[in-house]
Amino acid sequence: MSNKCTRCGKQRVVSKTYKEKVGTSYVFYKEMSCPDPECQKKVDNDISKEKQKRVRIQDEQDRREEERKKQKAEDIKSQK
């Protein structure tokens, strides 16, 4: 199985391993990173920007949903 860097295409290496107990089992994790530290910093920055964007979009959706619910409640009250 090939695990190449999304930016530069170099073969990624294991940077960290750890295990976590889930119920009665253990799950083993391996964190992979690019061997080029500068490239990995840029990848981490890109991932951070994407995460912030997704959080912002989710917050906006939640806000619109709350507004919709309030409007619906007001419409029901005004019909009575």
Where do the domains of the chain lie?
13-79
The pTM for the full model equals 0.68
Give counts: helices (H), strands (E), the chain: 1, 2
**Whole-number pLDDT of residue 2:** 76
What pLDDT is attached to residue 78? Answer: 87
Tokens of 77: 């009250």
For residue 14, CA distances in Å to 4, 6, 45, 64, 79 come to: 12, 15, 19, 42, 63
Give the integer Cα–Cα distance in Å for 67 and 40: 41
Instruction: Give the pLDDT means over successive 10-residue stretches in the chain (80 positions).
Output: 86 94 95 94 95 98 96 87
Residue count (the chain): 80
